[in-house]
Amino acid sequence: MLNLVIGYLATSASRIARRDGSDNGATAVEYGLMIALVAAVIVVAVTALGGTLSGIFNSVVGAIS
């Protein structure tokens, strides 16, 4: 009986050790999702403020010339 428990613990430990090294793919996916979210926020901000910024730049150009 003790041999079965020790064998089970050894098998479980080796499975955990193998699974521990596989976090790199999940981390890369998480970073990719964060970058996509930041890019989406930038696109929305530029789209929403595009007309306002165009007006500001045109008034600055008019004041300079």
> What is the rounded (10 degree) CA torsion for 32, 46, 44, 37?
10
pLDDT at residue 53, rounded to an integer: 81
> What is the rounded (10 degree) CA torsion for 24, 29, 32, 38?
-120
* pLDDT, tens only, 29-63: 888 889 999 999 988 888 888 778 888 889 999 99
| Full-model pTM | 0.48
